[in-house]
Structure formats: structure tokens, C-alpha cells
Amino acid sequence: MDQRLPISRRHLLLGAAATFGVPAVLAGCGSDSPAPGPGGNLGTVTIGSNASDEIPKKTLDTVVKGFTQATTRINTVDHNTFQENINRYLRGTPEDVFTWFAGYRMQFFAEQGLAVDISDVWQEIGADYTQAFKDQSTGVDGKQYFVPFSYYPWAVFYRKSLWEENGYEVPATLDELTALARRMQGDDIIPIAFADKDGWPAMGTFDIINMRMNGYDFHVSLMQGKQSWTDPKVRQVFDTWRGLMEFHQPAALGRTWQEAAQSLAQKQTGMYVLGMFVAQQFPEADRDDLDFFTFPEINPAYGTDSIDAPIDGYMISAKARNVEGAKALLKHFAQASSQNIATELDPGTLAASSKADTSGYSALQKRGAELVSKATHIAQFLDRDTRPDFASTVMIPSLQSFVSEPDEIDSLLASIEQQKANIFR
């Protein structure tokens, strides 16, 4: 089946429309506006957005309002649907600019030729980002395809007041973590909140144990399908995790992360490995009581040098009709002032630009930024660091099966390895 046929036919149609002076509705009202001039009017830029919830939506609206070089039109599709449809979306009739994720998830589509190379944009904005951010925006061909906008770190969250009451201290090693968990059990507190009904939260736990134990490089190459899942190193990760299972909140597969977060807020559980968005489950008044520490060291060779901190940002679709305008818009998104609008409205995110003004950050945001700046390696989270089909059709069911039967590690790993071979062909 020739995928290119429809595209060229559509382009032909468009061409015909333009030749005969028919207003091309496809590109919205701005498509017949004058060619981009040096002074400013870049026509219309369309944006495909997954920011359907109230706050992110408001953020995008506000940021885009500050963009004066072109008129903009936003097509919002709810977050989940957008993600599910990304494949068909990019092959169909995508907008010029679209929201997406950094790392492997970006590279996957860049490699298929569905995104526009924006290395020239990066020559201008490069100085605003650290190398880690640039790496996450770079495709396998060494060109940039992505502009980071905001991100959030994963860590172990807890309520300061509860810890003070009981005299708990932040653990620095796995042994200290285990000892702390024992103490909590003695105090009738479930040590580690846990929920995996939706399938992805457990990935955070797997990621961090793997990175602490085997280091970032191993983790990344495992994610890219280059390491075997039956490797003793992987088995060790699951063994360690199984050792911690008795401290995890039971019946995790029927619980949403929101419910687990509520148990943390109500001091029924002691700590919770999750992204910074956990703050959204806390009432305004309690947010200052929320704090976190990075997952303790397991292997001294790697210390605590890596964390998960997924980056959200923007890309240009290969079918974009107004690439000039789109690039100008990306530069606008890269500006610290744009990103600060987001961090102000949403306490769960941090600005990706290193030039961003952190003075307006909440205490939690400041600590988050500090955590990330100390990390040598930033991973994007399991489902963003590997092939999407592997993450959703293999890893989610597998991790859930581990959660329900932690003792069946060997057969599980063998099955993952087999399925991996079918996907990474």
C-alpha cells in the first residue's frame, strides 16, 4: 500500500485550489495571506494541542496570546485521545505545530519523517537550555526536532508534618529506606503508597530502581531493546523491588494513583514514588506540607545520579503548511517568559529553559529544579524512553502481573524477552 499517494493527491488538490483562487479552507483563514515578510506577519500558524484540562489550556492560550508575529489557531483534543491518535494524526491532516514529548518518543516520529528538522531554531535558542535538554530534543540523526517547554521530576513524596511527628528521617540508602519502612509499619502507617490501575505508575518505580542499580546507560539501552530482559541485572531489579513489596500499599491494581495520593494526603501512607503532579491532589492549604527526596542510593557506583523527569514541548509536523510561522512560534515557546507563565499557573511543572525566572517558584518547585540540576542523567520515563508499542502492549501487562504475583519473576522476564523480540524486529 503506497502511503504517499494520498499526500501527493492532497497537495495537488491544494495546488489546484490555490491556482484557481479558491480560498483553501484547509489552512484556515490565513492561508491566502501574503508571504512571510521580514517585519512580522507570518500568516496563520495552527497548533494541535493536547492541553484539554483547564490549567494547561489556559497556560497555552496565555502564552500564544503573547505571540504577535502571526495569527494562531489552536485545535485542542483531550490528552488521552491525542496521544492514542498521534500516529494517524501525523499522517492525516495535522496542524503546523503540535504538543509532544521529548526523548525516544520524539525520535520515533522524527525518524519516520513525520517532523520538521528545527536545528536552525536551536542555533538561536540553544544557549537557553542545558545539554541534557538538548540531547532529549535531538533525533538519532543528530538534528533537533523538539523544543522543550516544561517538565516535572519524579521523586519520593511525603508529608513533612507526619515525618516530624514521628521523627522519621530521609533515607540515603536502600537499607535506611527498608529500616524506615519497618518503623512506619510499627507506627501503623503503610510505608509506601502504591497504585497501578492505569498501568503506568509502576513504571516509575521500575525505572528508578533500575537506574539506581544498573545506571542510566544500562537503563537506556534496555529501553532501546539492546539488552536482554533475562539478564541477571534485570532480575536483580525485580528481586529488589519484590523485597520492598511488603511495604507497598496492597491491592494496588484496583487503585488509581489519585486514590493513592489521597492516602498520602490523609497520612495513611508514609511516602509515594510519583511525579510532581502529585501536588494537584493536595488541597491548597496542605501543599506547603508536601516535600520529597530523591530515591535513595542502591549501587554506590551510580549514587543518585539519574532521575526520571519527563519533558513536554512542541514539534513541527512534516505536513506543516506554514513552517516559517511555526518556527517563529517555537522560538516564542522557548522563551523563558513564556515558560514562566506555565510555572506560575501550574504548581506541578518546572520551566525547561535555564533562563527562566525561578524567583516566583513555590518551595516545592524550587526543590524540584534543584533536584534536576543535580542529576547527571535525566530519563524520560519508561513509556517515553522506549517504543510505544512495547511500553503499552508488553510492559504494562507485565508490570501489572509482577505486582500481583511478585514471585514469578523468571517466567515473567522470559515472556517479556520473547515479546520484545517480536517487537524490536
Q: Which residues, 97 to 126, sit near other proteins by CB under 8 A?
A: 112, 114
Alpha-carbon distance of 315 to 120, in angstroms, equals 13
> Considering the rule CB under 8 A, would residue 252 count as an interface residue with other proteins?
yes
- Binding residue (CB under 8 A) for other proteins from 30, 94, 215, 347: 94
Place of cell 501543599: 287
Q: What is the CA radius of gyration of the chain?
A: 23
Within positions 367 to 396, which residues make up the interface with other proteins, using CB under 8 A? 388-389, 391-393, 396
Q: Judging by beta carbons within 10 Å of its beta carbon (0-12, 13-18, 19+), is residue 312 exposed, middle or buried?
A: buried
Choose between 54 and 407: whose C-beta lies nearer to other proteins: 54
Of 15, 29, 53, 299, the residue at the interface with other proteins (CB under 8 A) is 53
Q: Is 270 in the site for other proteins (CB under 8 A)?
A: no
Task: Cell numbers for 296, please give them.
Answer: 535513595
Q: What is the DSSP letter of 34?
A: P
Inter-residue contact 315 to 100 (CB < 8 Å): yes
- 18 lies in the site for other proteins, by CB under 8 A: no
- 205, 281, 335, 353: residue in contact with other proteins (rule CB under 8 A): 281
93 binds other proteins (CB under 8 A): yes
Given 275, 313, 347, 406, the residue binding other proteins (CB under 8 A) = 275
What's the min distance (Å) between Cβ of 301 and other proteins?
34
Applying CB under 8 A, does 29 fall inside the site for other proteins?
no
Q: Does 6 bind other proteins (CB under 8 A)?
A: yes
The Cα 129–Cα 125 span in angstroms is 7
Q: Which of 212, 219, 248, 255 binds other proteins (CB under 8 A)?
A: 255
- Residue 177 to residues 102, 173, 180, 184, Cα–Cα distance (Å): 31, 6, 5, 10
Neighbour-count burial of 360, counting CB atoms closer than 10 A to its CB (0-12 exposed, 13-18 middle, 19+ buried): exposed
**Residue nearer to other proteins on the CB measure, 50 or 365:** 50
Near other proteins in 62-81, by CB under 8 A: 75-81
Choices 89-97, 239-247, 300-308, 334-342; region in contact with other proteins by CB under 8 A = 89-97
> Residue 13, interface with other proteins (CB under 8 A)?
yes
> Which residues lie closer than 8 Å to 102 by C-beta, 6 or more apart?
133, 136, 137, 146, 148, 310, 311, 312, 313, 380, 384
The answer to whether residue 404 forms part of the interface with other proteins (CB under 8 A) is yes
Instruction: Return the number of the residue (171 or 310) whose C-beta is nearest other proteins.
Output: 310
Q: Does 5 bind other proteins (CB under 8 A)?
A: yes
What backbone torsions phi and psi does residue 149 show, to the nearest 5 degrees? -115, -55
